[in-house]
Amino acid sequence: MRSPIHREGWPAIGIFAGLNALLFVFAGPFGWLGVPLTAWCVWFFRDPERVVPTGNGIVVSPADGRVLPIAVAAPPPELEMGDAPLTRISIFMNVFNVHVNRNPCDGTVVGLAYRPGRFFNASFDKASEHNERMAARIRTRGPDGGTVDIAVVQIAGLVARRIKCDLTDGQAVTRGERYGIIRFGSRLDVYLPQGIEPLVVEGQYAVAGETLLANLGAVVVTAGDSIS
């Protein structure tokens, strides 16, 4: 059976528990002051199971958290997806959310890029451009039977200092499968292909692996466009 605690959490939990034990040894009853912090550390690294929706073309949330204002912006340049603006859905994870990240769709990893940066509050819009990040480009089946690319970007936050991504270039991925974790407090951005409308709204709470962000089979047709 899978552990309810993510493997990345055990070293941190060990440090918190060790310091808490020392506090009991040297400060007696004041050691109880450290118990809530140790309990929070265990809670932070929880890794619950999720029920992943089935169906072709579904894109699910890669993170637990609050949906920030939906923007139109160019994807990270290091992914070489061009500079055309795409719909960007951003999910902000505070320090009480589950921080295990999951693949948003089925497909193949065709690009990975790490970029160092700053550590602004992850809820700020400028965090997408300036903060440390790990970006992945996933190629998946499009609405016309061809392929489209989706970008998913792990972004460090104000106190986050470690981004863990288990993806490798060329890897086949499954929707809802765990692929990484960020600690502590951060955000994930998902860039949708052109013509795909989001199924979430600002302020909505998203659940990793469960909440539908988009349906790649639902293409928005604008004036001058046609569908064969």
Instruction: Tell me the two tokens of residue 91.
Output: 């999910």
Beta pairing, strands 100-102 & 86-93: unpaired
Percent of the chain whose pLDDT exceeds 90 = 54
Q: Which of 3, 186, 226, 228 is catalytic?
A: 186
Confidence class for position 219, pLDDT limits 50, 70, 90: low
80 and 167 share one domain: yes
Percent of the chain whose pLDDT exceeds 70 = 92
CA 54 → CA 22, 58, 86, 92, distances in Å?
49, 8, 25, 25
Taking residues 12-29, what's their average pLDDT?
A: 88
Does residue 227 lie within any of the structural domains?
A: no
CATH number at residue 82: 2.70.70
Does residue 35 lie within any of the structural domains?
A: yes
68 and 40 share one domain: no
Does residue 2 lie within any of the structural domains?
A: no
Does residue 107 lie within any of the structural domains?
A: yes
Angle of helix 35-44 versus helix 9-27 axis, rounded to 10:
170
Domain count, the chain: 2
Instruction: Tell me the two tokens of residue 223.
Output: 């004036």
Sequence-distant (≥ 6) Cβ neighbours of residue 54 within 8 angstroms: none
pTM for the model: 0.84
Task: Give backbone dihedrals phi and psi of 155, rounded to 5 degrees, phi first.
Answer: -125, 125
Confidence class for position 91, pLDDT limits 50, 70, 90: very high
DSSP label at 28?
G
Q: Is 128 in the active site?
A: no
Does residue 228 lie within any of the structural domains?
A: no
Instruction: Tell me the two tokens of residue 73.
Output: 């912006």
Does residue 53 lie within any of the structural domains?
A: no
**Spatial distance between the Cα atoms of 134 and 155, rounded to a whole number of angstroms:** 7
- Specify the residue for token string 């998913």: 152
- pLDDT tens digits for range 150-176: 999 999 877 656 899 999 999 999 999
Residue 6, classed as helix, strand or coil, is coil
* Strand ranges (E), the chain: 58-60, 65-67, 71-73, 86-93, 100-102, 107-115, 133-141, 147-156, 162-165, 172-173, 178-183, 186-191, 196-198, 205-206, 212-219
For 94, the domain range is: 58-217
33 and 103 share one domain: no
34 and 64 share one domain: no
77 and 190 share one domain: yes
13 and 119 share one domain: no
